[in-house]
Chain A
Amino acid sequence: MANVLVVAEAAEGKLKKTTHSAVTFARTAAQALGGTYSILVIGSDLAGAVDEAKALGADKVLVADDASLKNYVAERYAPTVAAVAKGYAVVVGTASAYGKDLLARVAGKLDAGYASDVTDVLTDGGLKYKRPMFAGNAFGVVAINTPIQIVSVRQSAFAAAEPSGGASAVESVAVVAPGAGASRLEFVSFDQVKSERPELTEAKVVVAGGRALKERFNDILDPLADTLGAALGASRAACDAGYAPSDLQVGQTGKVVAPPLYFAIGISGAIQHLAGMKNSKVIVAINKDADAPIFQVADYGLVADLFQAVPELVKQVKAAKAS
Chain B
Amino acid sequence: MSLPGIATLDVTENTMILNMGPQHPSTHGVLRLLLEIDGETVVRMVPDIGYLHTGIEKTCEAKFYQQVVVLTDRIDYLCPMTNNLCYVLAVEKLLGMEIPPRAQWMRVMLNELTRIASHLVWLGTHALDIGAMTVFLYCFREREEILRIFEMVSGQRMMTSYFRVGGLALDAPLGFFEKVKKFVDIFPSRVDEYEGLLTGNRIWIERLKGVGHLSAEDAIALGMTGPALRASGVDWDLRRDMPYTGYENFKFKVPVSQDGDVWARYVGRVRELRESIGIVKQALEGMPEGRIKADAPKVVLPDREKMKTQMEALIYHFKIVTEGFTVPAGEVYQAIESPRGEMGYYIMSDGTAKPYRVHMRSPSYANLQALNKMCEGRLIADVVAAIGSIDIVLGEIDR
Q: Do A and B come from one complex?
A: no
